Amino acid sequence: MDNKSEEKCLFEIKSGMYGDPLTTKGTVTTEGNRTVYNWTEKHNENEKETHFVMTLIKEETKAIVVRNGDVTSRMVFEPGNKTTSTMNTSFGPIEVVIETDYINFPGGLIDGAEISYTLDPDSGDPIRNIFSIKRLLQNGEI
């Protein structure tokens, strides 16, 4: 039977989709070879809070990110395979093809994860991005 542990912590989130890194509260749950990051983001007063759950499945070299907020989506990142997702936005659904370059899983010196990928929306212009989540050491009062 796998040991399961959950820890509250602070994360630093970096993404080419927005400028400065974001620091936010969340949880990390580990169960066997799966690591689940759970956090919320709010970048400005005009947007509602967005809830994210990212499940990393090391034995399948796969990451699944579920997003619920102004944009709702379930995206699968899998190096070597193109995956398809629908992003539900206030402008309507947008189909995207995801081509994952690599996933760096937690372990060793990395207390977090990184995903490099390209999103190709049905409207055209592909968007390259590197997303990273890092657990901050100074957890403080969470």
Dump pLDDT digits (tens) for 43-76.
778 878 999 999 999 999 999 999 999 899 999 9
- Give the 3-state secondary structure of residue 24: strand
pTM of the full structure:
0.89
User: Which residues touch 42 (CB under 8 Å, ≥6 apart)?
Assistant: 48, 49, 50
Note the pLDDT tens digit of each residue in 76-128. Answer: 999 999 999 999 998 899 999 999 999 999 876 778 999 999 999 877 789 99
User: What CA–CA distance (Å, rounded) separates 134 from 97?
Assistant: 26
Say which CATH number the domain at 114 has.
2.40.128.20
Query: Given a cut of 70, is residue 138 above it in pLDDT?
Result: no
What is the residue whose two structure tokens read 């659904």? 93
Inside any domain, residue 55: yes
What is the residue whose two structure tokens read 């690591």? 35
The residue range of the domain holding 73 is: 4-135
User: What CA–CA distance (Å, rounded) separates 15 from 27?
Assistant: 19
Number of separate domains in the chain: 1
Q: Do 2 and 31 form a contact (C-beta atoms < 8 A)?
A: yes
Q: What end-to-end distance do the CA atoms of the chain give, in Å?
A: 30
